[in-house]
């Protein structure tokens, strides 16, 4: 099983990455990291939590397993270089959103989804570990990136007075965008190259929860301007007990960047709008102890209790 | 869940590793890799395949999840530096070899097992991803190492005429050693520092299968000297339909090093016996196309069909 899958991967993986002088086929891979530190992140996705295998296209599951890692690298403003992939496959054939698949067919589709996105971002697949078991599908990708000479962006650099930005409309990603989102790698690199980014995080568990993490690391508070929060069309389509604004604040898996800059940089950003899609100024950083307040449409300031999408 | 666990990890993890300038608490970790390439390996362990949670001590499961990775780094003669840990925990409390444990209790014991071994090898825990789900226990550790100035040892360097060595007796690890084995990190570094090691692999799936992998990568053949193969006491204790020798050849998870050296180096090794425990010369590399033959106790040469412990 492992051997056959590794052969297939090995054949299809380019040996040409300058970041992987030694790839699949030995006990470990070698990453070329001279002259640079390495940014590393890991995400594990499981059936029933991050996807429903029975309803999903396995290629999109593979894609997502890589995309969430690229989103983490984007939040650090690192250039993605390589990944290692670990997967545990159901031993028996199983129902998926594209029909019943054997273990090997499932593996092939997962891998194809990973590989397609990896090529798009010029990311080398440096190694992996493939297993089968009596349990459900699990994928864990560890991704590597290298900082640019502008350095990395961290959660901990927000300063009182900073303006808070997001790279796109929020909410309702469960309608499909959580599979198909484009990780904000290029956006992060473009922003970090041109502007002084004080702090950044990617929105994986919702604006509310991820902003609370950013200000906790930065030892600041924050005010969200309710009327400024961009609400995605998907959030309007949810049509349930939550308002579209609540979806934008609490839904997870938007995978937009949330970042802070000085008021002067904020002005420049809004003037330049340097990305293909607009960036949105949605609030400001305050002194204080990691508390979030919301400035409502009525001009009232109300305390906000962080909560969000805990998978 | 994740937040609480990360807090616990964060508190208990030393911030002092020179290899991890930025650890847990951001979207990704930063590994200090300047001046060296990075060796990277990943292993995913699942319930029912690599351990039986119902019968096992979770601390030993955590230990094993790290130890198998350290064994891969040993096979490359790399100095372990850091790991990232991904785990998916059963959402409900579950029976283990040390009683019924809540999700958080299980996580704590797994982590303690990882941490204890990590400290022993001075390995920093740089990051992780903790989840819970309705499935069984899954752990995936990605481990990083740095080559010494002697370079790494690979599977692909064996040459016809090389002698084949192992670092210890084989077989019967299922009786317990597969949980408690000491990864051959120090041994690999000591050997690589003093001798010209042509090729190396760790024995995870059995002497038969791992030797076949080594010679496949080296494009050679091999002869195993049946009477020279060191058989572990555990192999004798198995007391089943396989002979102790068969256990030594086919059982997996010995995690001893299998390596090849020139005949001259072999002489020096046997004369010096430079490790605490003896190294064993068990055969030789031949020209040929990845075929293994066994020289039996009767002096007969028989073809060998590689098979082994496929978890």
Pairwise CB contact (< 8 Å): A32 & B35: no
More confident residue, A217 or A26: A217
Query: Could you tell me the end-to-end alpha-carbon distance of chain A, in angstroms, rounded to an integer?
Result: 30
For β-strands A124-133 and B94-96, DSSP reports them as unpaired
Question: What confidence tens digit (pLDDT) does each residue in B51-60 have?
Answer: 999 999 999 9
| Closest chain B CA to residue A85 | B42
Which of B32, B42, B79 should be substituted to probe chain A, the one whose Cβ sees the most A Cβ atoms within 10 Å?
A: B42
pLDDT, residue A1, reads: 47
Give chain B positions within 8 Å (CB) of A143.
28
pLDDT, residue A239, reads: 83
More confident residue, B35 or A234: A234
| Closest chain B CA to residue A87 | B44
More confident residue, B19 or B210: B210
Question: What confidence tens digit (pLDDT) does each residue in B168-226 have?
Answer: 999 999 999 999 999 999 999 999 999 999 999 999 999 999 999 999 999 999 999 99
Question: Would you say residue B17 has pLDDT above 90?
Answer: no
Which of A3, A26, A216 should be substituted to probe chain B, the one whose Cβ sees the most B Cβ atoms within 10 Å?
A: A26
Give the 3-state secondary structure of residue A44.
strand
Give chain B positions within 8 Å (CB) of A76.
26-28
Distance CA B179, CA B62 (A): 9
pLDDT, residue B4, reads: 58
Q: Residues of chain B with pLDDT > 70: what percent?
A: 94
Check: CB of residue A132 under 8 Å from CB of residue A91: yes
Token match 């965008």: residue?
A177
Pairwise CB contact (< 8 Å): A152 & B22: yes
Give chain B positions within 8 Å (CB) of A131.
44, 46, 49, 311
Question: Would you say residue B94 has pLDDT above 70?
Answer: yes
Which among B28, B38, B41 has CB closest to A33?
B38
Question: If you count residue pairs, one on A and one on B, with CB atoms under 8 Å apart, how many are there?
Answer: 211
For β-strands B221-225 and B292-295, DSSP reports them as parallel
CA atoms within 13 A on the CB side of B87: 30
Q: List the one residue out of A311, A307, A164, A166 whose CA is nearest residue A242.
A: A307
| Closest chain B CA to residue A49 | B133
Pairwise CB contact (< 8 Å): B30 & A40: yes
Give chain A positions within 8 Å (CB) of B152.
22, 30
Pairwise CB contact (< 8 Å): B30 & A22: no
Give chain A positions within 8 Å (CB) of B128.
42
Check: CB of residue A199 under 8 Å from CB of residue A218: yes
Distance CA A147, CA B121 (A): 28
Give chain B positions within 8 Å (CB) of A103.
none
Query: pTM for the whole thing?
Result: 0.93
Distance CA A147, CA A39 (A): 7
Distance CA A275, CA B69 (A): 42
Instruction: Report the pLDDT averaged over residues A165-171.
Output: 97
Question: Strand pairing partners for B30?
Answer: A39, B22
Distance CA B33, CA B18 (A): 10
Write down the mean pLDDT value for chain B. Answer: 92
Task: Report which secondary-structure segment, H or E, holds A113.
Answer: helix A103-120
Q: Which two tokens stand for residue A245?
A: 């604004």
- Distance of residue A239 Cα from the nearest chain B Cα, in angstroms: 27
Question: Would you say residue B63 has pLDDT above 70?
Answer: yes
Distance CA B238, CA A7 (A): 34
- Distance of residue B309 Cα from the nearest chain A Cα, in angstroms: 12
C-alpha distances (whole Å) from B147 to each of A16, A193, B3, B35, B81 are 21, 33, 34, 11, 10
Question: What confidence tens digit (pLDDT) does each residue in A31-81 have?
Answer: 877 778 899 999 999 999 999 999 999 999 999 999 999 999 999 999 999
Q: Which two tokens stand for residue B132?
A: 């819970």
- Distance of residue A221 Cα from the nearest chain B Cα, in angstroms: 18
Distance CA B131, CA A55 (A): 21
Token match 């060595």: residue?
B165
| Closest chain B CA to residue A41 | B28
Question: What confidence tens digit (pLDDT) does each residue in B144-175 have?
Answer: 999 999 999 999 999 999 999 999 999 999 99
Question: Would you say residue B2 has pLDDT above 70?
Answer: no
Pairwise CB contact (< 8 Å): B28 & A41: yes
Q: Classify burial at B230, counting beta carbons within 10 Å of its beta carbon; exposed 0-12, middle 13-18, buried 19 or more.
A: middle
Helix A58-75 to helix A185-194 angle, to the nearest 10 degrees? 10
Which of A52, A85, A140, A259 should be substituted to probe chain B, the one whose Cβ sees the most B Cβ atoms within 10 Å?
A: A140
Pairwise CB contact (< 8 Å): B85 & A42: yes
Query: Per-residue confidence at A311, pLDDT binned at 50, 70, 90?
Result: low
Which among B37, B128, B310 has CB closest to A34?
B37
Instruction: Report the pLDDT averaged over residues B36-41.
Output: 90
Which among A28, A31, A133 has CB closest to B49?
A133
């Amino acid at each position: 099983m492992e051997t056959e899958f590794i052969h297939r991967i090995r054949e299809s993986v380019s040996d040409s990455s300058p970041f992987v002088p030694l790839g699949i086929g030995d006990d470990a891979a070698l990453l070329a990291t001279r002259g640079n530190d390495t940014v590393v992140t890991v995400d594990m996705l499981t059936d029933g939590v991050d996807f429903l295998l029975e309803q999903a296209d396995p290629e999109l599951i593979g894609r997502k397993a890589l995309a969430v890692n690229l989103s983490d690298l984007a939040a650090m403003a690192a250039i993605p270089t390589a990944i290692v992939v670990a997967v545990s496959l159901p031993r028996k054939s199983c129902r998926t959103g594209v029909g019943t698949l054997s273990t090997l067919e499932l593996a092939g589709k997962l891998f194809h989804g990973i590989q397609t996105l990896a090529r798009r971002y010029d990311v080398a697949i440096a190694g992996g570990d493939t297993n089968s078991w009596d349990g459900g599908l699990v994928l864990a990708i560890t991704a590597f990136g290298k900082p640019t000479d502008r350095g990395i962006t961290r959660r901990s650099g927000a300063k009182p007075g900073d303006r808070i930005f997001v790279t796109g409309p929020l909410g309702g990603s469960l309608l499909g965008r959580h599979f198909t989102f484009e990780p904000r790698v290029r956006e992060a690199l473009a922003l970090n190259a041109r502007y002084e980014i004080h702090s950044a995080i990617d929105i994986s568990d919702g604006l509310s929860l991820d902003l609370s993490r950013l200000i906790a690391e930065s030892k600041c508070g924050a005010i969200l301007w309710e009327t400024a929060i961009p609400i995605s069309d998907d959030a309007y389509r949810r049509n349930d007990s939550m308002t579209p604004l609540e979806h934008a604040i609490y839904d997870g898996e938007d995978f937009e960047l949330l970042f802070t800059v000085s008021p002067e940089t904020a002005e420049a950003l809004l003037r330049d709008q340097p990305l293909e899609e607009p960036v949105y100024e949605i609030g400001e950083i305050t002194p204080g102890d990691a508390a979030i307040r919301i400035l409502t449409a009525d001009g009232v300031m109300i305390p906000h209790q962080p909560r969000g999408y805990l998978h």
